[in-house]
Amino acid sequence: MLCIEKSNMNPVNETPYHLPKDATWLRCSTGIGRALAELIASKPSHRLIATARNPSTLSYLPDNDPRILKLALDVTQPSKINACFATAAAHFSSGSKDFHLDVVVNNAGYSLSGDTESATEDQMHEQLETNFFGTVRVAMKAVEHMRQRVPTRDDGGVVFNLSSLAGVCAFPGHAFYHASKFAVEGWTESVAREMSPEWKSEFEPPDPLSLAESIANCLVSVNFCLVEPAGVKTHFEGHSKAHTAPHPAYANPAMPARKLEVFVNKGLSMGMGLEPATVAKAMYDVASRGEKIPLRLPLSSTAVNMMKMALQERLKALEEVEGFAAVE
């Protein structure tokens, strides 16, 4: 059987990333996106491409700030994504200053919960269409821009894909939401390994002896990071959550999904979860600290502890069936 050596698996995010002082960020909306948008807007030299399916939800941002561009964006429509990037490039390109995109935050999504057996075809497809394929479309358009750098800019950029504890641990009553987040996790890790360590800036200095020549030899670093919070105080459990129809076979309060609903509702009533601003600051700090970008960023002690438990369970399960590996 084919054996893939670990050394043959392209490492990810190998180069320290240095966020430009005039970095351009893309994405937001409500919740975590709003917190991040407000943080970026508070940085005098940073620029923000603020997007939402309904731009009226971006009213918390000023209309007359040249550093902020508000655009409509539906991640389920490829043409709208292309138009968004084209408009942003035209808006922030002026004279000799070319458009550069430094950080993209993929935070569009919602949760479909309830009895899996009663989920409709439309509900299943819409969950994956928004949470997974929408993330993929925006991320690949971002990579297209980041790997084609402009003069004097050598760092490719960072793509933050909002995953969740739900991308690592699965709970009853959220099968299709978990499917979308597990897909985001696997896709992100795979595509992160596709990023070439040999992409270089296309900048060619007019004076071969100038110090700027070193810029032409800088590697273009396109980095991916999976953000994995356990729970955030947003509208995610409100208008960002969809439900399947109740199925009589799972109506008993003793069923696992019903027990989890009680637990989650109790936690919400107690105000449990991270503040959106905490998640936003974590992403900003990771992008701006001048170090390597981690592939995964679990947020909160709950996320870390539950991920450890899940990994330990998998290791134990692996050891229990390890004898079957001898079939080769």
Helix runs in 195-275, H state only:
213-216, 256-269
Dump pLDDT digits (tens) for 274-299.
Answer: 899 999 999 999 999 999 999 999 99
Helices (H) and strands (E) in the chain, counts: 9, 9
| Run of H or E residues at 81 | helix 78-92
Cα separation of 301 and 96, whole Å? 47
Cα separation of 302 and 309, whole Å? 11
Binned at pLDDT 50, 70 and 90, residue 263 comes out as confident
Alpha-carbon distances of 256 from 112, 114, 182, 260, 262, rounded to whole Å? 17, 11, 21, 6, 10
Cα separation of 250 and 6, whole Å? 44
Dump pLDDT digits (tens) for 95-122.
Answer: 546 788 999 999 988 999 999 999 999 9
Asked whether 233 and 273 are in contact (CB, 8 A), the reply is yes
Least confident of 27-31, 168-172, 205-209, 219-223: 205-209
Catalytic residues: 163, 177, 181
In the chain the domains, ranked by start, together with CATH numbers, are 13-327 (3.40.50.720)
Dump pLDDT digits (tens) for 79-96.
Answer: 999 999 999 999 998 654
**What is the reported pTM?**
0.87
Cα separation of 172 and 145, whole Å? 39
**Per-residue burial over 245-268, b = 16 or more CB atoms within 10 Å of its CB, e = otherwise:** eeeeebeeeebebbeebeebeeee
Binned at pLDDT 50, 70 and 90, residue 41 comes out as very high
For residue 253, the SS3 value is coil
Asked whether 107 and 226 are in contact (CB, 8 A), the reply is no
Helices 175-194 and 134-146: crossing angle in degrees, nearest 10, is: 20
Determine what percent of the chain is predicted with pLDDT higher than 90. 64
Report which of residues 244 and 198 the model is more confident about: 244
Helix runs in 162-300, H state only:
175-194, 213-216, 256-269, 276-288
Residues facing 274 on adjacent strands:
232
